[in-house]
Structure 1
Amino acid sequence: MNFFDSNNEKKHKNTIVMLAAAVIVLQLVAIILSASPKDTDNVQPPVQQGSDYSGSVQNTGTTTQPQQDLPDTAYYNIVPSTGKHASLISRYISWERGQMQPDEVVLSFTGDCTLGTWPEASTKTNFNAVYEEAGGGTYPFDLVKSLFANDDYTYINLETTLTTATNRLQKNTNYNFKGDPEWAQTMIAASYIDGCNLSNNHSYDYKRTGYDETMSSLKAANVDVGSQRDVIVRKVGDVEIVLLGANYITTSYNPEDVFGNELTDLMIRQIKTYKRPDNIVIVNCHWGLERRNDANGDQAQPAHKMIDAGADMIIGHHPHTIQGVELYNGKYIFYSLGNFSFGGKGSTDEVNRICFIARPRFALREGTAVVTGVTVLPCYTTSAERLSVNNYQPTLVFGEDASGIINTLEKSSGYLSSPCRDFVCPTVDYTFEDVSSTDA
């Protein structure tokens, strides 16, 4: 064999090797393609903690499924904000998620929501008239419902009746409040409110008939109802939340209720019945003197007894203004959150206009339910351009307005035996990222 024959043979062998290699490569490509998704529209993006994991498709109403099952809690879901200050609220929610751990849940509490009016009220400026003029729906909560949509549970003090009854408990006095029973669904539930406290001095304004219709309307709208006899127990994320209610105001009351020391004893029994290491017990207390920023001994004494009995937190209302916060034995006592959407008066002043939303967070850690943080969000009860006009639509306030409310809260807390002074309130100095001055 000469040189040329040998060279041709080598070329032939090389050609065979190259063809074999090409076949192997094609086979590998075919295998890879057969294992890839055929419908690229169904490919899911990476899921980030604290984001909206449902993968909602805008303007279609459809959703895609997450790659993994995640808890159905606020931490994993962010609902877009709407209304005035929408971008600020969105940034606050993002900031709040950054403060949270994945196992935490967040709740919202407000003060007096008097969603209705009384027969003698002005026909032009009363709650019902303003509500209808504004188009109804969720109007009273339009500027704050984005906060409620982005929590795990919202609880308000509902200080009215939702009834068609006409027989009032006290015919010779004003302030027998009532609203439309349909508002339980169209106003309250539609605003992401999960529960209502009826332990107050106006839930019985239209006697047993009005009270029962209020209860049934709320329950039909899947809104929880709490009172002295109705204890709410809800599993929120991994944490069981127990909500108790106590009304210490003896006017316009349910005749089945008890008051004073007897009421405190009842609350202590309920606390001891429901409290476990792995749950959170919160008592809503309707008490205190109207238009006073300082809580009195008739509030502090039962509050301390309830905490000593095992309560984890106390939420107060009734004084129509804010009162101090006490950190008693490591437990928060909010003596009064103030009014909120308050249909009891068509005007506001510097005392009854200020209020706040309490936004505590909880988690289950090593079998024990704990408070992991509390945020205070200052509000005005009105969003009208003239603040003296009550348009019954509370709104968050920022900067100097928020700072003024926090200053009042700090001052009123100073009178308490164990004052809370370290309030987390990011709306005072805009402690969230990229705040546009045009939003404020």
Structure 2
Amino acid sequence: MRKHSFITIILLFLILAGCTANEASTTEKSEKKAEQKKSISKNEVEGLSSQSLQILQNLASSGGAKEEQKKVNELITKLDQYKHEDNSVSDYSKSLRNCLLALMDYSKGKADQKALGKVYPDYVAAMEQLKQDQPEIKLSVPTKYDWFYAAAAAYEQGKKKDGEITLTFVGDNSFGTYPETPEHLKFDNVFKANGGDNQYVFKNSLPWFNSDDFTIINAESAFTNETKAENKMWRIKSDPAHVAFLPASGVEAANLANNHTRDYFEAGYEDTLEAFAKNKVAVFNDGMPLKKNIGTIETIFLGYDCRMSQQSPEFLARIVEEVKQYKRKDNLVIVSMHWGVEYRETPVDYQTNFGRSILDAGADIIMGGHPHRLESVEKYNGKYIIYSMGDYAFGADPTLLSRQTAMFRLRFAKEDNTVVMKGLTIVPTLENSDDSLNENNYQPLPVFGKEAADIINELISISSPIENGVTEYKYFDPFI
């Protein structure tokens, strides 16, 4: 017995000695690692500043691509090599690192709407202090929008789930205008004045357009060089070359069912179809459905121009019949309706009648346009009617009669061989990005903070008065 006790004591001694040695070794390694860290130089700060701006912008424009996320993590690792001393240079690098760590929290798909908002003020304070202490240092300063778009892109990627698809819809778009538009506000002139390239119009939309599975716009214009036009007001024409904006910006399809694609007669419409085909952008129209396999879900897009003067019981009966023709439980049928009264906030009776009947026939959701402003959203029997998405990049709205718009993000999945909707989120957006209240620069600006809240509150305000009006909207704001 004593022998066993003696052996046990020896073993305990050896274990404790080993633990002490391991602790000493770990401490020694930590101290050695700390010694290997170096002070950051002014030149290195300038390089890191420039690098961080480029990395944020690339992450945003790629829609949060994994390879761009990897570059963010590599920059964080690089920042880890520096000592955090008591000076403004080190404070800046430390704050930049903390912001990048918070940014990458969103890549997990968690809507902790405070991660970036908490550390961003410290980053701004550190940056201002550095500029004050070291005015000779040239900083490439990421704006709050750079951080917002990068965070949104990372978040949208992180939210993706196996088996789900995400679709992004935006409202009316035209990359041209009508002849009576003042010269300085004509789309082509504004585009050239801003040094526009193929990503100019949707530059700020890329975090969402490039992080989804399919992006759809309403193309409310003839894309033609024809000069002979209908004898009507608001003859809208865009340069056919501008269709190239769409593939350059992650847009896969366009709805042509509206009252302007034939403004330049059949010749202009044929030019429009040719321009979209040339750029490999899919289109759909009344009598021309679009069938696409998106992920594992067969998706049918149906479009109808059904303004007040076009609506009739016969028209509704035809739409209902076509929806029934295409809809199965294992596929997705989306109906785009060009309808309603321009600049009206709520639907008129025929829209409600048409919308509910179309959903009863089996359609999964209705996406509306034509009123040139946001209109009510209704949830009817578990399905949505977005009565109007408003204008988006609309060259025929040069004076911004309504700046507020949005992207509508829809998620669907197949469960037990049945397609179900998993969610609707909103991206609050302004039609222009230069702060003008009455002149359009044709570059939509997704927004955060008060401007985003104002758009959400407007949607709530115009949806509340209608039956089944939606009064809660999910949206992403990392600066709350």
Same structural fold, with TM-score higher than 0.5 when normalized by the shorter chain: yes
Q: 1:379 aligns to what?
A: 429
Query: Secondary structure of 1:211's partner?
Result: helix
Shift of residue 235 of structure 1?
Answer: 0.7
Equivalenced residue count is 350
Retained in 2: the 8 A contact 1:115–1:159? no
Identify which of 233, 237, 243 aligns with 1:178: 237
Greater fraction of residues in helix: 2
| Superposition CA RMSD, Å | 2.5
Shift of residue 100 of structure 1?
Answer: 3.8
Q: Which runs of 5+ in 1 are unaligned?
A: 1-49, 59-74, 77-81, 252-257
Establish whether residue 246 from structure 1 lines up as the match of residue 304 from structure 2: yes
1:194 maps to a residue whose letter is E
Identify which of 290, 313, 316 aligns with 2:368: 316
CA distance in 2, matches of 1:271, 1:386: 42
Identify which of 326, 337, 360 aligns with 1:274: 326
Q: 2:397 aligns to what?
A: 345
Shift of residue 85 of structure 1?
Answer: 2.4
Q: Deviations over 1:164-222 (max 9, x none)?
A: 1111012xx4321111111122x122111111111011111100000111011101211
Establish whether residue 124 from structure 1 lines up as the match of residue 174 from structure 2: no
CA distance in 2, matches of 1:195, 1:263: 25
Q: Deviations over 1:58-97 (max 9, x none)?
A: 8xxxxxxxxxxxxxxxx99xxxxx9982431221233334
Identify which of 427, 436, 460 aligns with 1:410: 460
Shift of residue 262 of structure 1?
Answer: 2.7
Q: 1:263 to 1:86 in 2, by over 3 A?
A: farther
Query: Secondary structure of 1:287's partner?
Result: strand
Establish whether residue 216 from structure 1 lines up as the match of residue 274 from structure 2: yes
Retained in 2: the 8 A contact 1:361–1:373? yes
Q: 1:155 aligns to what?
A: 216
Q: 1:54 to 1:141 in 2, by over 3 A?
A: closer
Query: Secondary structure of 2:226's partner?
Result: coil
Query: Secondary structure of 2:201's partner?
Result: helix
Q: Which runs of 5+ in 2 are unaligned?
A: 1-62, 72-106, 109-141
Q: 1:269 to 1:396 in 2, by over 3 A?
A: same
CA distance in 2, matches of 1:382, 1:219: 28
2:281 maps to a residue whose letter is V
CA distance in 2, matches of 1:188, 1:394: 14
Retained in 1: the 8 A contact 2:64–2:207? no
Establish whether residue 299 from structure 1 lines up as the match of residue 351 from structure 2: yes
Identify which of 403, 407, 424 aligns with 1:357: 407
Establish whether residue 394 from structure 1 lines up as the match of residue 457 from structure 2: no
CA distance in 2, matches of 1:414, 1:57: 44
Retained in 1: the 8 A contact 2:366–2:384? yes
Retained in 2: the 8 A contact 1:83–1:142? no
CA distance in 1, matches of 2:312, 2:455: 31
Query: Secondary structure of 1:358's partner?
Result: strand
Retained in 2: the 8 A contact 1:126–1:345? no
Shift of residue 269 of structure 1?
Answer: 1.5
Q: 1:132 to 1:407 in 2, by over 3 A?
A: same
Query: Secondary structure of 2:222's partner?
Result: coil
2:233 maps to a residue whose letter is N
Q: 1:21 aligns to what?
A: none
Establish whether residue 143 from structure 1 lines up as the match of residue 204 from structure 2: yes
Retained in 2: the 8 A contact 1:163–1:178? yes
CA distance in 2, matches of 1:155, 1:345: 20
Q: 2:45 aligns to what?
A: none
TM-score scaled by length of structure 2: 0.69
